[in-house]
């Protein structure tokens, strides 16, 4: 992931063999990971864990937090006065989390499907990832519904 020339170091004299060995260790550009995909996948999986946790522990004083990053993202969006239509992947994930918190799994799933980075994944276009995500949304929506109906 940290490939390339470091800015902090002056250009050091390297032999031809050292440069060839260094270039062999590089990962080809078509195998690089997109940071936005990693962030989206992390936030979506955090949503599946954190939203039922929020529903379960809303009356406790010391709340158990699974993902601090996701919880902080939700709190930041709650503090905003006006909510506009989602524009980036984090907005879509927050809107999906709000829908899922109300047990509206279909709306949450549709919000996640609108993320451009996720919809460009080849498994998502073939339908395998899409079907797995849909079943996960259904299960999490049912879990939240059962938690909310008990309280």
Contact criterion met (CB below 8 Å) for 87 and 115:
no
Structure pTM? 0.74
CA distances, 66 to each of 46, 57, 58, 70, 76 (Å)? 8, 12, 14, 9, 17
pLDDT per residue, tens digit, the chain (151 aa), is: 555 555 545 556 778 888 888 888 887 777 777 888 899 999 999 999 999 888 888 777 667 888 888 888 888 888 887 777 888 888 999 999 999 999 899 999 999 999 988 888 878 878 888 899 999 999 999 999 998 888 6
């Amino acid at each position: 992931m940290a490939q390339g020339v470091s800015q902090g170091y002056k250009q050091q004299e390297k032999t031809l063999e050292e440069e060839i060995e260094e270039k062999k260790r590089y990962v080809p550009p078509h195998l690089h990971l997109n940071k936005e995909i990693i962030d989206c996948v992390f936030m979506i999986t955090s949503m599946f864990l954190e939203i039922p946790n929020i529903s379960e522990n809303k009356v406790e004083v010391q709340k158990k937090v699974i993902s601090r990053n996701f919880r902080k993202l939700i709190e930041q969006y709650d503090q905003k006065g006006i909510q506009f239509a989602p524009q980036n992947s984090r907005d879509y994930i927050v809107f999906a989390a709000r829908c899922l918190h109300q047990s509206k799994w279909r709306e949450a799933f549709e919000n996640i499907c609108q993320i451009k980075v996720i919809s460009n994944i080849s498994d998502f276009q073939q339908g395998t990832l899409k079907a797995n995500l849909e079943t996960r949304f259904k299960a999490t929506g049912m879990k939240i519904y059962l938690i909310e109906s008990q309280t």
